[in-house]
Amino acid sequence: MSEGLSNACKAGGGESDVLCGIVYSFLPATWAPVIAGLLSIALILVIAFVLRKVAHRLITRVVRRAASSTGSSIAGRLRGRQTVQPEGLDAVAAERRRQRAETIGSVLRPVASIVIVGTAVLTVLERLSVPIAPLLTSVGIVGVAVGFGAQELVKDFIAGMFMLLEDQYGVGDVIDVGAAVGAATTGTVEAVTLRITRVRDADGRVWYIRNGTITRVGNESQGWSRATVDVPVAYTADVPQVRELLGQVTGEIWDDPEYRDVVIVEEPQVWGIEQISDTALVFRISVKTIPSCQAQVAREIRLRVKAALDRASITIAG
């Protein structure tokens, strides 16, 4: 042991090493190498501990800032205006940011610890003249064996990591994961981790989907959504009158402060006649909304269209 500690100082350069040089100048030659070796190893471990603490604090600070960051509503960003996002949607967005930031932080902290502590241990072993080449080879073989045996788990973690970094989806998003669970699944994301994604479908069923099995994702909640409302009227209806009436309805909802720049991000459009049959003319209304609010807007438009058609005595086709 004492020989290894003596070599710890020699490996560092002997008298040319600053620490060893100081120790040699104050202690007898018998004890100087051992004491210098102990101090050298202790200094390496202290530096590693300090670096680890600093790295963890920096990661924690970045994670907290990312989790608590706020911004303008999606509607405002899409139209270049600062608006207030509805409280419910803001809470969902905050939860999404928090989970994404904390998950990435839970990965970065152990990675930083492994890199820093591993480097310190290897440096100490090298200073003790312990051959590290066979150790690294053994660790590499064990790593390959573990990776081969747990390749599905590794696949899930890698897929989850890229999913989080690319922000493909998050808590509150409505997604379609295709046949990842053996059948087409569409639902609302309730939780996202590196290994699994938890989705609740329209029937209330909860799906736990391994990230490595998701080959494609259709996200209905990113950027903006579109509400389309088809209005079938009788074939004999006056087309200009119907278009004018639908234009009035869309103008009213656009001027409504509860919807404009809060839920609806662009002025609604009446696209005109979408279909013609022997019994009906189908007019289509298109509205761009913030994510996941298209159904709410579509229901409101249907109510207003029904009331307007009733007032004008225009029959809705069956």
pLDDT at 249: 93
pLDDT at 304: 93
pLDDT at 106: 77
Please check whether residues 114 and 40 belong to one and the same domain.
yes
In a domain, 7, yes or no: yes
CATH number at residue 254: 3.30.70.100
Please check whether residues 121 and 179 belong to one and the same domain.
no
In a domain, 148, yes or no: no
Please check whether residues 240 and 205 belong to one and the same domain.
no
In a domain, 57, yes or no: yes
In a domain, 136, yes or no: no
d(CA 292, CA 174): 7
pLDDT at 25: 60
Distance of CA 14 to the CA centre of its chain: 51
Please check whether residues 213 and 230 belong to one and the same domain.
no
- Domain of 41, in residue numbers: 2-130
pLDDT in tens, 156-213: 888 888 887 777 888 778 888 876 666 667 888 888 888 889 999 888 889 999 998 8
Average pLDDT for runs of 10 along the chain of length 318: 51 49 58 68 89 92 76 46 47 66 79 89 80 75 70 84 81 80 76 86 88 86 86 90 92 90 88 87 92 88 92 85
Q: Which pTM was predicted?
A: 0.57
Please check whether residues 64 and 106 belong to one and the same domain.
yes
SS (H, E, C) 38-76: HHHHHHHHHHHHHHHHHHHHHHHHHHHHHHHCCCCCHHH
pLDDT at 23: 56
